[in-house]
Amino acid sequence: MRFLATALLLTATLAQADDRPLRFAVVDSWAMPLAQIENGELTGGIMFELFKETARELGRPAAFHIVPRARIEQALLSHSVDVRCYVSRTWIEHEFNDYRWTAPLMVQRDLLVVRDAPADKLETLPSQSVGTVLGYHYPRLQPLLDSHWLSRDDARNQELVLKKLRIGRYQYAISSEFALNWFNRELPEAERLRIASVIEETPLSCMVLDAPEVRADEVLSVLAKIKASGKIEQILDHYR
């Protein structure tokens, strides 16, 4: 009798997991091509396509939780999101033992970008402000900030950083390759921002909550399948 009750409870739990939306974290500072956020809703971009494909493969509805960058780790600690993607272990301060990591799904290349200044490497720049995204951590930039040789000029998202560079608010900015290519796509060749140097390349993964209602094994398996199928590269190609 006890076995039957346990089996029924497990069956009910699994049925609820199928009905319950999978909650994906969306950082509010993301911009295109990573994410299009309109009126507080995720409506397009690389992560939108990846999340929708993941939910489709799982046969579950997707829910997109817009989270301020400063509160993303609290959202994980409180289990208010099930999946956080586009993240590296080097970017987080806590272990988050309740979450399991996928293998790397894509790579972010961070670039030193210029408008009309001479191309140079980060470590050889004259003392000045550099365009950065509020809340982003840049490991190679940090020693230069600590020495007060360089300072940050923060903007809310990557698109605003590049817009400020284009109008001359500073001479140099740090940008992901995805964001730079998207920003340049409709500009005349002569007006496009240029790469001064590659700062670093970071493999990015997803974190999945290990809980019965999430079914972490299934989510991890589906993300691995999407990666192996070449679907992620197809999504990225839409925005290159």
Q: Which domain holds residue 44?
A: 2-106+203-238
Q: Are residues 71 and 48 in the same domain?
A: yes
Q: Which two tokens stand for residue 22?
A: 């999978």
- The answer, yes or no, to whether residue 11 has pLDDT greater than 60, is no
Q: How far is CA 197 from CA 25, 122, 181, in A?
A: 31, 8, 15
Q: Are residues 128 and 233 in the same domain?
A: no
pLDDT value, residue 17: 52
- Average pLDDT of the chain is 91
- CATH number at 14 reads 3.40.190.10
pLDDT bracket for residue 95 (50, 70, 90) = confident
Q: Are residues 152 and 97 in the same domain?
A: no
For range 200-227, the mean pLDDT: 97
Q: Are residues 11 and 59 in the same domain?
A: yes
Q: Are residues 95 and 114 in the same domain?
A: no
Count of CA atoms in the C-beta half-sphere (13 A) of 72: 23
Quote the number of domains for the chain: 2
pTM: 0.87
Q: Are residues 39 and 90 in the same domain?
A: yes
Q: Are residues 227 and 187 in the same domain?
A: no
From its phi and psi, is residue 103 left (phi > 0), alpha (psi between -120 and 50) or beta? Answer: beta
